[in-house]
Each structure stands twice: as C-alpha cells, then as structure tokens.
C-alpha cells in the first residue's frame, strides 16, 4: 500500500524549478524512506472544509484525507487546541477533568460492555497496546489478519500488516486469511467463507502448538480493497475465534468516527461487540491522538501486573481536541451526512460504472467507497487505477488506491462532503474516463 503512487524523482516531468528543489531538499533531509503522492507531487499550503489549496491558491477537492475528517482546519478544533494549550499541557499522572470528560463522551458512543479507554498518540501504538493486552489476557500469541491488512508500523504491528510488503516478514505466529470478498449473487456466502478460513487458520495454529490471541481486522477491510457487505458477515468468524480462546479486536482507525454513515463504529454494522476496539486517524482531526477501548474484565488482568504510561497520550490538549471532534460530529450531523451523501456518491459511481467497462464493483459504506478498476479482460488493473488517480489529481480531485493489486479506487472524503462536491467529483471522473 505504502509505495503506491510513490513519487520517484527520476520519473518527474512537468515539475517547476521550485518544486524540484523542494523535492531534492526533502530527499537530502528526510532520506529515502519517505514517499510522495502522485507523479506530479502536490505542494499544499492551506485547507478549509473539504478543500485544499496550493501555493498559487488553486483549490483541490479532497476525497482522500480521512484524518481531517470533520473538515480541514475546523475552527472548533483550532479553538479547543489553542485554549487548552495556552492553559495547561501535562500528562495523566496528575488529575485533570479534560481527559475524564473526553473518556466519558467517547465511551458513551460505544456499547456499554466496552467500559474502559486508554490513550496513545498513533493508531500503531493503539494496535501495539491492544495486542499486548490480548496476548496477556488470552495467554496466546497467534493472531489472524487479512491478506492485505495494514495495522501500523511498530515492529510488532508491522509483522502482522502484510500490506507493508515483503521486507517485513510476517511473524511466526501470524496467520493470514483472505478478506471477505463481495458476492452480490450470494451474500450469505461471504461470512460463511470467511469463517471457514478463520477456522482453518485456528486449526493450523493448533497443529503448530500456537495458542490464538486474537482476530484483528479493520471492520471495513479498507486496505484489502473495501469490503462492507452484507452487514453481519463477521459474526461467524468472531464466534469461532472466541470459541478457540481468542479475542476479537476491531481496528476502527479507518471505519470509525461516523464514517460508515449508519453507525459511529464499523463493528456496529456487524451487530458485534468487540473485546478491544482500536482508534486513530480521525480522532483528533489531525492532532496526534489515538487509543483503544476494552472490556474492563479483559483489562483487569493486564492492569494487575502492568502499568501503562504514554507521555503524551491523553494529555489535556489532546483530550480537548478529541472532545471537540466528537461534539462537531454530533452537532453538525456528520454521521447522517456521511450516510446521505455517501449513498449519493455510491449511486453516482455505480452509474458511471454502468457506462465504463473499466470500472467494476462499487463497494463500501457511508463515505468510504472502493471502486474496482479492470482491464478489457475484466482483470484487476493497477496501472489504470494509478493513471485515473493521477489524471484526477490534474483535475484537482484527490483520491488514492487500495487493494493487494492497487486497482481499487479509494474514496474517503471529509464527513462534511456535500451533494455539490459529489457532483463536482463525478463530473471530473467522467471527464477522466472519457479521456482514457
């Protein structure tokens, strides 16, 4: 996933001298492990709502950045950040109302069984901590993930994030299953097949003397290519894992915070209550804020032996920002907007797919959609997906790609995306498809 759309200096055409020197400076300072989006990288200087602006003031419609989920530079977030940073920024070893108010508000969005919350700074740290807790509680080490999953970049989480690439070997106790492939002809089959794979992975662990710790999945399977339907398909697999003594960890870094439209959390679409839920990206609208919620009876064991301290995690400023984000989602009706505008966007994409053979299935929920790009034989076509993404960039429309073959258009605009924005995007996509 990470090398996709990566910019290599030698491929650059049409770059201005200023950009070229900026790219050189960047490579000199930050080194070779950093990547840029697009064949022609973007130099952005301002953001507001669903729009990003470059140096010349040109506007780009953002259908990619789910981090600034409630809108770029949202004034409520800036205000909360400023107010609390001017007052106090310490840590959780002193008492502070802010982190408690935020914890309460956040937990109130989840099923009551998930009674405790812990704060980190990144989704990687959240998954890293969730795994430590799950392994401690279960006494197991085995983890089941999907074939092109991404859960983070710490050493222990990179080894169960297959999409990171071959240079990080999967851990010995990790087992990989295919994402639950969309099957409109026989929706009931999706969950059955997924559960069968999970049961086979559990049997394989047993045969190798590995005790299972957890099934860890992004509840929208976004890196795998966005697999959302039918709601409920996760249930049978989760039952199998629990029967074998493992926990279910819902990675909500992508689907969470109202993105799916019908629910605040992706796992709710499946009628499940996870054992742990990990949170990240949109949680602070760009401020480094992440965390997890967990059933108290699971945390009790970990807490008996272990203390956890994250210097910046749950500090008063982060808590104030997190609270502002939750308030904005509620007050601006962003979940409802995601449902409503997401449905409109999906319908529009399905319409375009009807008329263009290169577009296949349109999948997703709310404002996280994936569209297969196919070649003339109907096979996955990563090169064409990449071309569409770059042509859209030149149309000032920002999207990305997902999936093991990089052939799924990844469309996840801000939650405040409007009906007008949908029309603007569909018109641009139609132009791009016509030009191919």
34-93: contacts with its own copies (CB under 8 A): 34-37, 41-47, 52, 65, 67-68, 72-73, 75, 77-78, 81-82, 85-93
Query: Least Å distance between CB 100 and its own copies?
Result: 5
* Residues whose CB falls within 8 Å of the CB of residue 305, separated by 6 or more in sequence, listed in order: 136
Interface mask (CB under 8 A) for its own copies, residues 95-134, using x and -?
A: xxx-xx--xx--x-------xxxx-xxxxxx--xx-xx--
Residue with Cβ nearer its own copies (153 or 343): 153
Q: Which of 8, 11, 16, 25 binds its own copies (CB under 8 A)?
A: 25
* Residues whose CB falls within 8 Å of the CB of residue 308, separated by 6 or more in sequence, listed in order: 118, 129
Pull the structure tokens for residue 395. 């149309």
Q: Which of 307, 331, 354, 376 binds its own copies (CB under 8 A)?
A: 307
Query: Least Å distance between CB 146 and its own copies?
Result: 20
Residue with Cβ nearer its own copies (42 or 352): 42
Stretch that binds its own copies, among 237-245, 256-264, 284-292, 343-351 (CB under 8 A): 284-292
Q: At what angle do helices 123-138 and 296-305 cross, to 10 degrees?
A: 90
Query: Least Å distance between CB 84 and its own copies?
Result: 9
Residue with Cβ nearer its own copies (31 or 434): 31
Stretch that binds its own copies, among 15-23, 324-332, 351-359, 403-411 (CB under 8 A): 15-23
Residue with Cβ nearer its own copies (361 or 406): 406
Pull the structure tokens for residue 219. 């509840």
Residue with Cβ nearer its own copies (240 or 299): 299
Question: Strand, coil or helix: what is 137?
Answer: helix
Determine how β-strand 142-146 pairs with β-strand 174-177.
parallel
Residue with Cβ nearer its own copies (19 or 332): 19
Rg of the chain, C-alpha, whole Å: 21
Question: Strand, coil or helix: what is 171?
Answer: coil
Nearest of 329, 426, 117, 127 to residue 247 by alpha carbon:
127
- The size of the interface with its own copies (CB under 8 A), counted in residues, is 103
Where helices occur in 265-418 by DSSP H, the ranges are 296-305, 316-331, 334-355, 382-394
171 binds its own copies (CB under 8 A): no
CA 188 to chain centre: 26
* Contacting its own copies within 245-264 (CB under 8 A): none
* Contacting its own copies within 311-370 (CB under 8 A): 311-315, 317-318
The owner of tokens 């697009």 is 38
């Amino acid at each position: 996933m990470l090398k996709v759309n990566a910019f290599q200096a030698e491929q650059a055409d049409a770059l201005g001298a200023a950009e070229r020197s900026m790219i050189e400076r960047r490579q000199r300072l930050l080194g070779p492990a950093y990547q840029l989006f697009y064949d022609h990288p973007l130099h952005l200087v301002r953001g507001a709502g669903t729009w990003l602006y470059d140096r010349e003031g040109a506007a780009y419609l953002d259908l990619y950045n789910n981090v600034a989920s409630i809108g770029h530079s949202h004034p409520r977030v800036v205000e909360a950040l400023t107010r609390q940073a001017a007052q106090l920024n310490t840590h959780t070893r002193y008492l502070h109302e802010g982190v408690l108010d935020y914890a309460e508000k956040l937990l109130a969005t989840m099923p009551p069984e998930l009674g405790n919350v812990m704060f980190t700074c990144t989704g990687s740290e959240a998954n890293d901590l969730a795994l430590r807790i799950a392994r401690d509680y279960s006494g197991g080490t085995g983890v089941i993930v999907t074939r092109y999953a991404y859960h983070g970049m710490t050493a222990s989480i990179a080894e169960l994030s297959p999409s990171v690439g071959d240079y990080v070997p999967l851990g010995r106790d990790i087992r990989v299953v295919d994402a639950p492939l969309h099957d409109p002809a026989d929706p009931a089959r999706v969950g059955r097949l997924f559960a069968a794979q999970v049961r086979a992975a559990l049997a394989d662990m047993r045969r190798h003397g590995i005790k299972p710790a957890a099934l860890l999945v992004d509840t929208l399977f976004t890196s795998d290519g966005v697999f959302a339907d039918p709601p409920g398909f996760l249930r049978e697999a989760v039952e199998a894992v629990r029967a074998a003594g493992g926990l279910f960890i819902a990675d909500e870094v992508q689907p969470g915070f109202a993105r799916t439209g019908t629910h605040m959390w992706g796992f709710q679409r499946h009628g499940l209550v996870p054992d742990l839920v990990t949170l990240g990206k949109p949680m602070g609208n760009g401020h480094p804020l992440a965390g997890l919620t967990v059933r108290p009876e699971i945390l009790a064991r970990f807490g008996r032996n272990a203390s956890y301290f994250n210097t910046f995690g749950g500090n008063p400023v982060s808590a104030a920002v997190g609270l502002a984000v939750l308030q904005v989602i509620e007050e601006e009706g962003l979940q409802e907007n995601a449902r409503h505008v997401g449905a409109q966007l999906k319908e529009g994409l399905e319409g375009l797919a009807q008329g263009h053979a290169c577009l296949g299935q349109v999948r997703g929920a709310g404002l996280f959609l994936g569209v297969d790009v196919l070649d003339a034989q109907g096979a996955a076509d990563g090169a064409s997906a990449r071309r569409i993404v770059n042509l859209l960039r030149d149309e000032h429309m920002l999207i990305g790609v997902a999936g093991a073959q990089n052939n799924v258009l990844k469309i996840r605009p801000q939650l405040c995306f409007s009906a007008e924005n949908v029309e603007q995007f569909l018109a641009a996509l139609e132009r791009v498809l016509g030009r191919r």
